[in-house]
């Protein structure tokens, strides 16, 4: 239950019949009002807990903690706990160290902690959390007076994460008696490898016994059995000069990509110019991300394709995404994701935002008096209906040569399906209310009027579209 609240923090407390209490500090992603960080694990393991939850990513400033700590003093004094553990990740790891002595902790479990978020303390080399530093608040670095030498402190981190390694090095200068558990391949999410009640209780037992060799052995064992181990290791490799190995590893665990590391993986792949195979797989993957973040990742896919010269493939993928109702509005509103990559995609977004009835997307020559010709064997047409009722689209289809064969496919979900009953000289299709329909119109080959001796035009032409109407 909540026992205290001010403008900076909330405090939650639950007593279980034992002499042990775990005092947790939340990471910056936990929203206030949802209880203590780690609460479900504490409850399942029957552990008493005291949870400090920051209302914003504020790194538990002195201004907010003074009265909150005074309130917790009463709780700790009334129940006479014999063993106290402070516990946290990232922002919470910093606080677990910072307030260890103040809370009379016997043991500290700090995952990926910061030494400080004040820019001058980090010599300007770690800017990840700089936006959360507030000069008007007291957010001091970890120092030697924060924990006594009799306190058993273990810091868990991934040495390959340079920012975290730098913070741990600073902490070790202030608190030279800390033990460090190096959990490679976990990045700044080391705590994720230890999720679950069983892992927590085993870790807690080893730390209370102050048995660091057992704690280290246990940590390695837990990491080896971690279901997401490969995808997090791939993420770390992608950020290093071993990015090609990371890409190969990622191909074996694409279904493990989650919201926490999805965007970072896409950024790394784009930065390293990953090959087309991995992008094909990622495009078919349903990312567990909000629509704006999904579209950001999708834009990286397009950037990679267009950089490799696959403009038509990029346009096809974009149209597939438009067919996804969740992504459709985000793609139009957030068109800036795509405008820098391909003018045709930019034109598509602008035109759809202006609600035209039909739009020639890819593979067409400019408009002529009678209509327009396609300039590739596959050309795309987008039909947009912003009305509250269904409409019918009709157009004439013109061949440049009698031997041409014409097929029309409509995008259905993520599949192209043949559009039935298409006469050779006319096409009709129903566009449902407030939706977009994407057509792919194909010819088996291109001809130039010059080679057919029907004019001097040497352009290779495919299919002609004339008098398109929506009614």
Q: Show the tokens assigned to 63.
A: 């201004």
Distance CA 333, CA 67 (A): 45
Count other Cβ atoms within 10 Å, centred on residue 461.
21
pLDDT of 294 above 90: no
How many CA atoms, within 13 angstroms, populate the side-chain half-sphere of residue 240?
Answer: 16
327: confidence class by pLDDT, cuts 50, 70, 90: low
Residues across the chain: 471
pLDDT of 127 above 90: no
Distance CA 269, CA 279 (A): 9
**3-class state of residue 357 by DSSP:** coil
pLDDT of 125 above 50: yes
341: confidence class by pLDDT, cuts 50, 70, 90: very low
Beta bridge partner(s), residue 150? none
pLDDT of 334 above 60: no
Q: State the pairing for strand pair 107-111/152-157.
A: parallel
**Element containing residue 379 per DSSP (H, E):** strand 378-385
Distance CA 445, CA 259 (A): 44
How confident is the model over 270-290, as pLDDT tens digits?
A: 666 655 556 566 665 556 666
How many CA atoms, within 13 angstroms, populate the side-chain half-sphere of residue 156?
Answer: 33
pLDDT of 25 above 80: yes
pLDDT of 307 reads 64
How confident is the model over 380-411, as pLDDT tens digits?
A: 777 777 777 888 888 888 888 888 888 888 87
**3-class state of residue 1 by DSSP:** coil
Output the pTM of the full model.
0.66
User: What value does the mean pLDDT take over residues 144-159?
Assistant: 94
Distance CA 392, CA 385 (A): 10
The DSSP secondary structure of 90-132, one letter per residue, reads THHHHHHHHTTTTTT-SEEEEES--S---GGGGTT---TTGGG
Most confident of 120-124, 152-156, 234-238: 152-156
Count other Cβ atoms within 10 Å, centred on residue 370.
12
pLDDT of 370 reads 84
Which residues, 6 or more positions from 20, have their beta carbon under 8 angstroms from its beta carbon? 47, 48, 81, 82, 83, 84, 85, 208
Rounded to the nearest integer, the mean pLDDT of the chain is 82
Beta bridge partner(s), residue 25? 52, 88
Q: Which residue has the tokens 């396609």?
A: 374
Lowest-pLDDT range of 61-75, 132-146, 165-179, 260-274: 260-274
Q: Which is more confident, 309 or 3?
A: 3
Q: Are 253 and 234 in contact (CB under 8 A)?
A: yes
User: What value does the mean pLDDT take over residues 414-442?
Assistant: 76
Distance CA 341, CA 39 (A): 45
């Amino acid at each position: 239950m909540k026992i205290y609240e001010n403008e900076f923090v909330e405090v939650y407390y639950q007593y279980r019949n034992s002499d042990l209490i775990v005092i947790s500090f939340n990471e910056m992603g936990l929203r206030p009002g949802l209880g203590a960080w780690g609460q479900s694990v504490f409850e399942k393991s029957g552990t008493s807990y005291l949870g400090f939850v920051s209302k914003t990513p504020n790194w538990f400033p002195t201004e907010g903690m003074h009265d909150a700590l005074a309130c917790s003093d009463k709780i700790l004094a009334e129940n006479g706990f014999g063993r106290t553990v402070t516990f946290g990740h990232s922002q919470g790891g910093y606080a677990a160290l910072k307030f260890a002595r103040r809370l009379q902790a016997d043991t500290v479990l700090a995952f990926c902690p910061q030494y400080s978020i004040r820019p001058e303390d980090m010599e300007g080399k770690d800017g990840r959390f700089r936006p959360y530093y507030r000069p008007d608040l007291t957010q001091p670095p970890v120092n030697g007076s924060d924990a006594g030498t009799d306190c058993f402190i273990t810091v868990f981190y991934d040495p390959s994460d340079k920012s975290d390694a730098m913070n741990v090095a600073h902490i070790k200068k202030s608190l030279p008696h800390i033990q460090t558990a190096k959990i490679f391949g976990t990045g700044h999410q080391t705590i994720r490898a230890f999720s679950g009640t069983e892992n927590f209780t085993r870790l807690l037992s080893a730390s209370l016994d102050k048995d660091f060799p057992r704690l280290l052995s246990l940590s390695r064992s837990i990491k080896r059995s971690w279901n997401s181990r490969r995808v997090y290791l791939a993420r770390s490799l992608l950020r290093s000069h071993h990015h090609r190995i990371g890409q190969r590893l990622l191909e074996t665990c694409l279904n493990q990509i989650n919201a926490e590391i999805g965007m970072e993986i896409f950024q790394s792949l784009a930065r390293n110019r990953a090959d087309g195979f991995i992008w094909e797989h990622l495009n078919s993957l349903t990312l567990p991300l909000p629509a704006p973040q999904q579209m950001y990742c999708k834009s990286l896919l397009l950037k990679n394709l267009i950089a490799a010269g696959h403009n038509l493939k990029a346009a096809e993928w974009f149209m597939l995404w438009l067919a996804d109702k969740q992504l459709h509005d985000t793609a139009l509103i957030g068109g800036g994701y795509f405008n820098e990559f391909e003018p045709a995609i930019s034109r598509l977004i602008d035109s759809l935002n202006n609600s035209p009835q039909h739009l020639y997307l890819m593979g067409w020559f400019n408009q002529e008096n009678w209509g327009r010709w396609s300039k590739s064997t596959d050309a795309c047409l987008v039909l947009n209906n912003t009305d509250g009722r269904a409409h019918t689209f009709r157009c004439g289809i013109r061949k440049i040569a009698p031997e041409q064969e014409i097929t029309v496919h409509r995008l259905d979900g993520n599949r192209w399906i043949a559009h039935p009953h298409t006469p050779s000289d006319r096409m009709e299709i129903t566009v449902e209310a407030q939706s977009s329909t994407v057509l792919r119109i194909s010819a088996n080959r291109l001809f130039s009027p010059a080679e057919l001796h029907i004019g001097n035009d040497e352009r290779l032409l495919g299919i002609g579209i004339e008098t398109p109407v929506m009614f």
